[in-house]
Amino acid sequence: MLRFVVRRLLLLVPILLGLSILVFLWVRALPGDPASALLGERATEQTIEQVREQYGLDRPIHVQYLSYLRLVVIDRDLGTSITSRRPVTEEISRRFPATVELALAALVFAIVLGIPLGFFAAKRHGGVFDNASLVGSLLGISIPIFFLALILKWIFAVELGLFPTIGRQSAEISIDHPTNFYVLDAILALDPVALGDAVWHLVLPAIALGSIPLAIIARITRAAVLDVQNEDYVRTARAKGLASGIVDRRHVFRNAMLPVVTIIGLQTGLLLSGAILTEKVFAIPGMGSWLADAIEARDYPVLQGGILFVAVVFVLVNLVVDVMYGFVDPRVRVS
Amino acid sequence: MRDRLKWLALLGGVMLVAVLPVGCGGGGGGGDTMTFGSASDPVVLDGALVSDGESLRVIDQIMETLVGLEAGSTKIVPELAESWTASADGLTWTFQLKDGVTFHDGEPFNAEAVCFNFDRWYNFSGPLQNSSVSYYWQTVFRGYANNEDDTLAPSLYQSCEAQDELTAVITITEPSSAFLGALALTNFGIASPAALTEFEADAGTVDEEAGVFQPTGTYGTENPTGTGPFKFESWERGDRLTLSRNDDYWGEPASLETLIFRPIADNAARLQALQTGEIQGYDLVEPQDIATIEGDANLQILDRPAFNVGYVTINQAMPPMNNPLVRQAVAHGLDRQAVVDNFYGGRGVVAHQFMPPLVEGYADDVTQFEFDPDRARALLQEAGLTLPVEIEFWFPTDVSRPYMPDPRRNFEAFAASLNQSGFRVTARSAPWSPDYLGRQQNGTAGHLNLIGWTGDFGDPDNFVGTFFQSQQPAWGTNEFPNREVIDILNRAERETDIAARTALYEDANRLIADWIPGVPYVHTSPALAFEANVTGYVPSPVSLEEFQTVEFSDEEESEETEETETE
């Protein structure tokens, strides 16, 4: 097990090296550069040249890359954002928790609703509930996130006034944010009002972001439960007279969870990409909206550092999911 | 069955948690607090180091300048300087400062503080000399004490002397009539020398890889200190920036006790936040949202006076555009009224010169070229050309500017009207940045192209001076410079008598209109949105808007209270 984990972690090195080259080339292949994005109509050939020179963009690309690599590997620094003039690492430490909090909330929403939905749909296979959940999950997958977000905000915030539409906390709340996970910070501060406020701000974004994973989880659960239900051991269990609740819980549910766990792991990438739109629409200062803005501003250091960071997270999450297999299903041996 | 109940109970629990806190927060507005939705976070709160509107918006509440602008106009009025005089040669400017003004940190405002600030800017070195950092200093004062880049011109600034406690004498190296007006720029706000020093405003490191200047002091992020009606309180990046009222303000103190800026990048999100009362106002209203806001009795739209110009560039270096008759034909062949009526949602007026009407030097009597296809064709024939005359017309893609929300539509309408007028237009386009802008500027974007300009400050020099005072490849003026125009603009720049200077710019505008280096077609008014009970916000053409005079009107206060104080 340990060897498995270590080997996977070592694999990160070539992955990151390759990725860093790809990202480095990709951001430079975008039309335009920070100089022209920064100056707009005011850009003259002279000022563009001056800014390019300042940012070192006039050097050959391999020299730029090596200098970036030295910065990352030796100085363990991701550079400075061109737009905010803050260190990229500082921005990540502030923004990443916002995205994780949102992604977790969305995942909780998707799991808590998706698994039971899929389970009951399978139990009532072919029935009205099953068909309704199928249609519902199809809708969940097909509605664009930002559209769903705007509709949710319009109904629940603008019309009904139940939820806030922007940010992570209300203007009146002022607590310290040692971890930048606002829910956790509120708990640490022992402030129930701040806690409620933080959760309250998460509801609509989590629903918007969680809609696609919810639909996928529900459908996979349904399929897996249908599969497992027809296995011999389930028939045997029923034949020997076990109560149906126990059969469902111990035999059907547990065995059906394996593909579901895989899917949940794979959703991480989806959640991160979905967070770009969700964060933008809900004005949440997270990684997603940050990277989206960085593309517009051609903020190379942010794009390079941010994307590398997200890639590391993605690889680590998948590693955790692989390790978790062993716990969900002892038959799976990681080797 | 029991399983299902358990799930339902769990679901119910989740929903309850979600709904419970409703009512224990508010919109963050009403009464003494106003929350304003901005498009993004400021960069740093140090006017000398920024050029973006969101930074300047906040800085403008904290800092004050020697001279100010009358609310809603570009007229220069006293601010920290009570009066001023210029020497006969226009080189020495003496400012009498306001007495009894203190900085937010309790330090006295005086002539020494003024000179400290000017000397600070003048002595910028290293990355602070980059135009992405000190853009406005370079625009107005050109260079520094020690120019580190060959492309920088010698500085217009020479020295500042504190003659006595309240008299500051600034000397410049050549007469400049734009100098005084430029001092109204938020960038030249006078900061507390003690705070600048203590919090190391100029300290910073340069990122070795990307060359970005990163301030390491805390002046611009935690301790901006000026004399303005609001004081800096706190800044949670990405979330909110809070200012509080300066109760020791030398003038009329603000009515708002707290002013909060929240960055909301998405336009639709800003509108929704205004509808829910989470914010009480926002800038950069999308044209398509204006009807919604005007239709809502709880909201209002405020117009910012037009301070931009959209125009069609004519490249005289490309024949037959060197022929004045052909340029006249172009001017008669562009249906400007139709474009302005159809694509600007009622927020544009047809332009006839290269500066908006409220800038000094705007001439009421320039030659106007009405849309007249027959006249255009006749002019082309008079020029000895065979119809149709083939021309290339460029427009940018992937961009929306205040003066050109949808360039393609403008182009299509113009191309259609030109085709009626004896031309045959070939469409060419490129992504805005850097391809289009690059081509536009170096004169390789066809016979005609679409472009425009939003003013930096309320001075004619910032419009016609920028466009025509030097020869620029965009107009093809390297080959066909208009010496007369350049000469008048040079004289105007040196003229310190305001009336004489205005007359010179009026002359220049008349000459330019007859010369037709391009065809101005639109000035637009950007819109701001507020809750209906917000009063005292005076939109400024140059976006220098003070929240000092903003308050919530009484009659709708009760409604507001009901909505937001449900705690």
The candidate with the shortest Cα–Cα distance to A305, out of A87, A52, A59, is A87
Report CB contact under 8 Å: A289, B265: yes
User: Is the separation of the CB atoms in B59 and B225 below 8 Å?
Assistant: no
Alpha carbons within 13 angstroms on the beta-carbon side of residue B516 total 21
Report CB contact under 8 Å: A165, B278: yes
Report CB contact under 8 Å: B262, A167: yes
The vertex-B512 CA angle with B508 and B515, nearest 5°, equals: 140
Q: CB-based contact (8 Å) between B149 and chain A?
A: yes
**CA B374 to each of CA B186, B329, B378: distance values in angstroms, whole numbers, following the listed order:** 49, 9, 6
Alpha carbons within 13 angstroms on the beta-carbon side of residue B310 total 27
Cα distance between the two ends of chain B: 40
Helix (H) or strand (E) holding B19: helix B2-19
User: Is the separation of the CB atoms in B350 and B311 below 8 Å?
Assistant: no
Q: CB-based contact (8 Å) between A168 and chain B?
A: yes
Out of A71, A85, A283, whose CB is closest to B264?
A283
Please count the residues of chain B. Answer: 567
**Which of B131, B214, B403 is the best residue to mutate to test the A interface, defined by the most A CB atoms within 10 Å of its own CB?**
B131
Out of B26, B27, B453, whose CB is closest to A41?
B453
- Give A43's pLDDT tier (boundaries 50, 70, 90): low
Report CB contact under 8 Å: A36, B260: no
Residues B96-109 pLDDT 10s: 999 999 999 999 99
Give the range among B50-64, B417-431, B542-556 with minimum mean pLDDT.
B542-556
Measured CA to CA, the distance from residue B185 to residue B176 in angstroms comes to: 16
Tell me the nearest-neighbour CA distance from B311 into chain A, angstroms. Answer: 13
> What's the whole-number mean pLDDT along residues A248-256?
81
- E-assigned strands of B287-338? 299-303, 308-314
Cα distance between the two ends of chain A: 7
What's the pLDDT at B16? 43
Residue type for position B383:
A
Out of B131, B212, B269, whose CB is closest to A283?
B269
Measured CA to CA, the distance from residue B528 to residue B281 in angstroms comes to: 7
User: Is the separation of the CB atoms in A245 and B4 below 8 Å?
Assistant: no
- Residue B24 φ/ψ, nearest 5 degrees: -100, 15
Out of B11, B40, B130, whose CB is closest to A50?
B130
| pTM exceeding the 0.95 threshold for the entire prediction | no
Find chain A residues with C-beta within 8 A of B278's C-beta: 164-167
**Hey, how many other C-beta atoms are within 10 angstroms of the C-beta on B224?**
30
- Give B567's pLDDT tier (boundaries 50, 70, 90): very low
- Residue A299 φ/ψ, nearest 5 degrees: -80, 85
Strand order in the sheet with B167-172: B81-86, B92-97, B167-172, B157-164
The pair of structure tokens assigned to A164 is: 């806030």
What's the pLDDT at B154? 92
Tell me the nearest-neighbour CA distance from B46 into chain A, angstroms. Answer: 13
Q: CB-based contact (8 Å) between B9 and chain A?
A: no
Measured CA to CA, the distance from residue A291 to residue B38 in angstroms comes to: 19
Give the range among A19-28, A174-183, A323-332, B109-118 with minimum mean pLDDT.
A323-332
Tell me the nearest-neighbour CA distance from B501 into chain A, angstroms. Answer: 25
Q: CB-based contact (8 Å) between B24 and chain A?
A: yes
The vertex-A71 CA angle with A70 and A74, nearest 5°, equals: 65
Q: What are the residues facing B204 on neighbouring strands? A: B215
Measured CA to CA, the distance from residue B457 to residue B468 in angstroms comes to: 17
* ipTM of this predicted structure: 0.79
* 3-state secondary structure labels for all residues of B177-192: CHHHHHCCCHHHCCCC
Coil, strand or helix: which one is B299? strand
> What's the whole-number mean pLDDT along residues A212-232?
88
What's the pLDDT at B208? 59
Residue A23 in this model has a pLDDT that exceeds 50? yes
Residues B448-490 pLDDT 10s: 999 998 887 778 888 998 889 888 888 988 888 899 999 999 9
Measured CA to CA, the distance from residue B119 to residue B14 in angstroms comes to: 61
Measured CA to CA, the distance from residue B415 to residue A9 in angstroms comes to: 60
- Give B63's pLDDT tier (boundaries 50, 70, 90): very high
- Give A330's pLDDT tier (boundaries 50, 70, 90): low
Q: CB-based contact (8 Å) between A187 and chain B?
A: no
Measured CA to CA, the distance from residue B308 to residue B344 in angstroms comes to: 13
- Give B112's pLDDT tier (boundaries 50, 70, 90): very high
Measured CA to CA, the distance from residue B186 to residue B5 in angstroms comes to: 63
In the numeric block, the tokens 């100056």 are attached to A39
Measured CA to CA, the distance from residue B433 to residue B417 in angstroms comes to: 27
Q: CB-based contact (8 Å) between B213 and chain A?
A: yes
What's the pLDDT at B136? 87
Measured CA to CA, the distance from residue B6 to residue B8 in angstroms comes to: 5
Q: CB-based contact (8 Å) between A94 and chain B?
A: yes
Measured CA to CA, the distance from residue A322 to residue A4 in angstroms comes to: 10
User: Is the separation of the CB atoms in A92 and A77 below 8 Å?
Assistant: no
Measured CA to CA, the distance from residue A133 to residue A223 in angstroms comes to: 13
Out of B22, B132, B438, whose CB is closest to A200?
B22
User: Is the separation of the CB atoms in B27 and B558 below 8 Å?
Assistant: no
The pair of structure tokens assigned to B527 is: 């819109």
How does strand B389-397 pair with strand B423-431? parallel
How many CB pairs lie under 8 A apart between chains A and B? Answer: 198
Q: Which of residues 302-331 of A touch B (CB under 8 A)?
A: none
Out of A54, A162, A164, whose CB is closest to B278?
A164
Tell me the nearest-neighbour CA distance from B85 into chain A, angstroms. Answer: 32
Strand order in the sheet with B448-454: B348-350, B518-524, B308-314, B448-454, B389-397, B423-431
The pair of structure tokens assigned to B540 is: 């400024």
Report CB contact under 8 Å: B435, A31: yes
Measured CA to CA, the distance from residue B498 to residue B431 in angstroms comes to: 42
Give the range among A227-231, B84-88, B372-376 with minimum mean pLDDT.
A227-231
Find chain B residues with C-beta within 8 A of A150's C-beta: 268, 272
Q: CB-based contact (8 Å) between A66 and chain B?
A: no
Q: By percentage, how much of chain A surpasses pLDDT 90?
A: 16
- Residue B536 φ/ψ, nearest 5 degrees: 85, 5
Out of B26, B272, B442, whose CB is closest to A170?
B26
Nearest CA in chain B to A35: B132
Q: What are the residues facing B235 on neighbouring strands? A: B241
Find chain B residues with C-beta within 8 A of A166's C-beta: 37, 262, 264, 269, 272-273, 278-279
The candidate with the shortest Cα–Cα distance to B62, out of B228, B211, B224, B207, is B228
Report CB contact under 8 Å: B272, A38: no
- Give B559's pLDDT tier (boundaries 50, 70, 90): very low
Residue B18 in this model has a pLDDT that exceeds 70? no
What's the pLDDT at A39? 65
